[in-house]
Chain A
Amino acid sequence: MSVEFKPEVVAFCCRHCAYAAADLAGGGRQAYPSAIKIVELPCTGRMDVVNVLHAFESGADGVLVAGCLSGKCHYIKGNLYARQRVNYLKALLDEIGLESERLRMVNISAAMGIRFAELANEHVECVRKLGPNPLRSAAKQGVAA
Chain B
Amino acid sequence: MIVAESKPLEAISAMLQRYEKVLAVGCGTCVTVCFAGGRKEVATLAASLRMKRGIEGKPLEVAEAFVQRQCEWEYIEPLAEQVKKYDAVLSLGCGVGVQTLAERFPGTRVLPALNTLFMGLPTEAGVWEERCQACGACVLDKTGGICPVSRCAKQLFNGPCGGSQNGVCEVDKSVPCAWHMIWERADALGMTDALMEIEPPKNWASSRDGGLRRMVRDDLRTPTEDGGNE
Contact = CB atoms under 8 A, between A and B. Distances in A.
B63 to A, nearest CB: 14
Q: Chain A contact residues: over half helix, strand or loop, or mixed? A: helix
Interface stretch (B52-60, B159-167, B179-187, B194-202): B52-60
Contacts of B43: 50, 53
Contact of B48 (A48, A96, A134, A138): A96
A57 to B, nearest CB: 5
A97 B40 contact: no
A115 B59 CA distance: 40
A57 B54 CA distance: 9
Interface residues of B, number: 15
B50 interface: yes
Given A95-B9, A95-B10, A138-B59, A49 B51 contact: no
B47 interface: yes
A38 interface: no
Contacts of B55: 96-98, 134-135
A81 B8 CA distance: 22
Nearest to B56: A97
A57 B40 contact: no
Nearest to B49: A96
B207 interface: no
B40 A56 contact: no
Q: How large is the interface on A (under 10, 10 to 19, 20 to 34, 35 or more residues)?
A: 10 to 19
B44 interface: yes
Given A92-B9, A95-B9, A96-B9, A56 B51 contact: yes
B40 A96 contact: no
Contacts of B59: 138
Interface in B31-53: 40, 43-44, 47-48, 50-52
A72 B56 CA distance: 42
B7 to A, nearest CB: 11
26 contacts: A48-B40, A49-B40, A49-B44, A50-B40, A50-B43, A50-B44, A53-B51, A54-B47, A56-B51, A57-B47, A57-B50, A92-B9, A92-B44, A95-B10, A95-B52, A96-B51, A96-B55, A97-B51, A97-B52, A97-B55, A98-B51, A98-B55, A134-B54, A134-B55, A135-B55, A138-B59
Interface of A: 48-50, 53-54, 56-57, 92, 95-98, 134-135, 138
Given A95-B8, A98-B55, 11 more contacts: A50-B44, A53-B43, A95-B48, A95-B52, A96-B9, A97-B51, A97-B55, A98-B51, A134-B54, A135-B55, A138-B54
Interface of B: 8-10, 40, 43-44, 47-48, 50-52, 54-56, 59
